[in-house]
Amino acid sequence: MLYLRQFYQDTMLDLFQITRTQLGYLYSALGTTFLVCYLPSGWLADRLPPRWLIGFSLVGTGALGFWYSNASAPSYATLMAIFCGWGVTTGLTFWASVIKRVKTIARPSEQGRFFGFLDGGRGLIEALLATASLALFAWLVDTRGVSHGGAFRQVVTGYSTVCIALGALLLFVKDTVGAAAHDAVTAEKGHLGRDLLTLARNRRLWVFALIVFCGYHLSWATYSISPYLQQKGVGMSIVAAGFIASLKLWMRPIGGIGGGFVGDRIGTLNVLGGALFCAALAFVGLIAFPSLNQIALLVGVVIVIGLLTYAVRGLYWSVLERCDVPARITGLAIGIISLLGYSPDVFLPLLNGWLTTAYPGMRGYQLYFGYVACVSALGGGACLLLKGMLKEEHAG
């Protein structure tokens, strides 16, 4: 729900009467709130049951969604408050608790597939909801004569309802005995300063943070594919571009789950590095292919980008197992890595808004995708570096 701009960016701009730059500021504020929340999120994940944290996150996110969809001509300050609120409900109480729970239930040899199932499963739900919402949007606009803005509000209402229902259900489900026992063990009190110093001395964590940083650029870049396809050089309608972008979402369960299994077999760093290098080439293709007027080829590139992006997303957290982090401070480590690795949440919306405003049409998006391609290649190099570090330490 937070990233519906990938399908409805122009509709959002018209509905709320804001510019691309202002939309970029909203997402930058969301990202800044994430960054502020990531470190305490890790601290909370080491001390409170994940069920409570995740349930609160879902209900809070859905409640803010109802405010977002029902506000009549909301001011820019209201929109900013909603986006910052989403930053708290999804950054402070959700992320680290989910990652820590998955890491603790998977054996070392199963980290890739478990994290792959996490992201792939999320992707399957996202694809189903996105496809259903696009069908609803098209039906409301084409059959019922509802305005684009009115149809968008109903889409957001649907997402909000699902969030609240899932959150309420989770809050009423009891933890298993094993999960409760693990939470009690890892909730030991420690010295925060000493724990932070322990993590800061871990060289592997710094390289791991760089891998997440580079890989996360791919996720952000995919949000701009639909508006890119609507530019004059391609000229697709909102529904057609959204449909192609939703095809990309269907690659998430395939890329996430498939990448996880392959990573467990031939090495997560091998698969991660290869996917990042290939993604860099795919974004170069996304820049070049519109000039060839080959829509089928362009659609194929979008699908490949989705497959590679979600393979990276499904795999990079499995690398945490290779970083030798004590179980007692796993949540804190997740918070630190998230703080560094997800920092693109702050500046990429601004960069995207500035480029697409300063260079209208396809040119701005092509410059943006070119930057992402370079960062993706850097991430592939970071995978090679970490692999070399592990080999060197093992030999020593």
CATH numbers and ranges of domains, the chain:
5-172+203-395 (1.20.1250.20)
**Residue 167 vs residues 56, 58, 60, 210, 330: alpha-carbon distances, Å:** 7, 5, 9, 32, 24
Note the pLDDT tens digit of each residue in 106-136.
788 888 888 888 888 887 887 788 888 889 9
Spatial distance between the Cα atoms of 148 and 15, rounded to a whole number of angstroms: 8
Write out the DSSP string of 250-297.
THHHHHHHHHHHHHHHH-HHHHHHHHHHHHHHHHHHHHHGGGGT-HHH
CB 279 within 8 A of CB 332: no
Q: Are 160 and 63 in contact (CB under 8 A)?
A: yes
* Helix orientation angle between 5-16 and 238-249, rounded to the nearest 10 degrees: 140
Contacts of 100 (CB under 8 A, 6+ apart): 45, 46, 50, 330, 331, 334
How many CA within 13 A on the CB side of residue 277? 11
Distance between CA 274 and CA 78 in Å, rounded?
43
pLDDT at residue 274, as a whole number: 96
How many whole angstroms separate alpha carbon 379 and alpha carbon 82?
33
8 Å CB contact between 346 and 188: no
The torsion angle over the Cα atoms of residues 300, 301, 302 and 305, rounded to 10 degrees, is 130
CA distances, 260 to each of 72, 113, 120, 121, 254 (Å): 44, 4, 9, 12, 10
Residues 38 and 335: beta-carbon distance below 8 Å:
yes
For the chain, 396 residues long, give each residue's pLDDT as a single digit of tens: 888 887 788 899 999 999 888 988 998 899 889 888 888 888 888 788 888 888 999 999 999 999 998 877 789 999 999 999 999 998 888 878 888 888 878 788 888 888 888 888 887 887 788 888 889 999 999 888 899 999 999 999 999 999 999 999 988 876 654 454 445 445 455 577 888 898 889 999 999 999 999 999 999 998 888 888 887 767 777 778 878 877 887 888 889 889 888 988 999 999 999 999 999 999 999 888 776 667 788 888 989 999 999 999 989 888 988 888 887 888 888 889 988 998 998 889 889 889 988 998 889 999 999 999 999 999 999 999 999 999 887 775
Measured distance CA(289)–CA(302) in Å, rounded: 11
Instruction: Name the 3-class secondary structure at 126.
Output: helix
Q: Percentage helix, strand, coil, to 5, in the chain?
A: 85, 0, 15
